[in-house]
Amino acid sequence: MNVTEAVRQRISTRAFLDTPIPRDQLADLLETAQRSPSGGNLQPWKMIAVTGAAKDEIIAIAHRVLAADPMGPVPGDRPVYPDLNAIAPVYNERRKHVGEMMYEKVGIPREDRAGRIRWFANNYRFFGAPVGLFLIIDKRMGHGQWAHMGMYMQTIALLAEERGWGTCMQECWARLRVELHDHFGLDEHHMLYAGMALGVPDPNEPVNDLYADRAPQAEVVEFRGW
């Protein structure tokens, strides 16, 4: 598989087999991911990888904290999404559209809000993935380093594709920043940025056939000087 194929093939995998991921294979992937771009070579990312009982502990924390409202607000001053009413409508339209595509795949109509909430809660079980990755960043970093964190996550996702694994970027774990900060024993300067589910995709689940639309190139690119 080349890079172009990995980029085109990658999706947000939302159903996984329970096939274990060997530690040495994951460590090899993460060693390669250390080559992700990083301005000034700061390498601002930190990672906590969990499986087995360690993963189950986090799922239990999520169930306890979020059982009443898994789709509630993110605590603190680092929201996952901007104020969607304050930016161009196209961004919210894209978000809503992919949401409708996903719920159509899993057969939950718009009027079944309770069903959609239950489905969303699968995030906090890593969609059945055997591995959960948690990305940690120093809050004192600038906006550039937050971009570097995203590059690191993308690198992990593409390397996973090469190995026949799937991933799902899960910024929703920011809902548990306070609880997981304590659980992981982070110091006052570090915070949870996002999570990521990783494992072997379940080929029989329709939700794994979801390829989100992308805007036409003409909407996002200007060529000048040609």
CATH number at residue 65: 3.40.109.10
Q: Is residue 120 part of a domain?
A: yes
The whole-number pLDDT of residue 82 equals: 81
Reported as a single tens digit per residue, the pLDDT across 53-62 is 999 999 999 9
- 77 pLDDT more than 80: no
Q: Is residue 224 part of a domain?
A: no
Reported as a single tens digit per residue, the pLDDT across 182-205 is 999 999 999 999 999 999 999 999
What secondary structure letter does DSSP report for 16? Answer: B
The total number of structural domains in the chain stands at 1
Q: Is residue 215 part of a domain?
A: no
Reported as a single tens digit per residue, the pLDDT across 135-151 is 999 999 999 999 999 99
Q: For the stretch 13-43, what's the b/e string if a residue is b when 16 or more beta carbons lie within 10 angstroms of its beta carbon?
A: bbbbbeeebeeeebeebbeebeebebeeeee
- 16 pLDDT more than 90: yes
Beta carbons within 10 angstroms of residue 141's beta carbon? 16
Q: How far apart are CA 109 and CA 186, in angstroms?
A: 40
Q: Is residue 225 part of a domain?
A: no
Determine which of 24-28, 64-68, 195-199 has the lowest per-residue pLDDT on average. Answer: 64-68
Q: How far apart are CA 6 and CA 163, in angstroms?
A: 10
Confidence tier at 75 by pLDDT (50, 70, 90): confident
- 76 pLDDT more than 80: no
Q: Is residue 197 part of a domain?
A: yes
- 73 pLDDT more than 90: no
The whole-number pLDDT of residue 68 equals: 74
Tally DSSP H helices, then E strands, for the chain. 8, 4
Q: Is residue 217 part of a domain?
A: no
- Higher-confidence residue: 217 or 76? 217
Mean of the pLDDT values across residues 110-135? 96
Domain span holding position 187:
3-208
Q: Is residue 14 part of a domain?
A: yes
Q: How far apart are CA 38 and CA 208, in angstroms?
A: 31
Q: Is residue 63 part of a domain?
A: yes
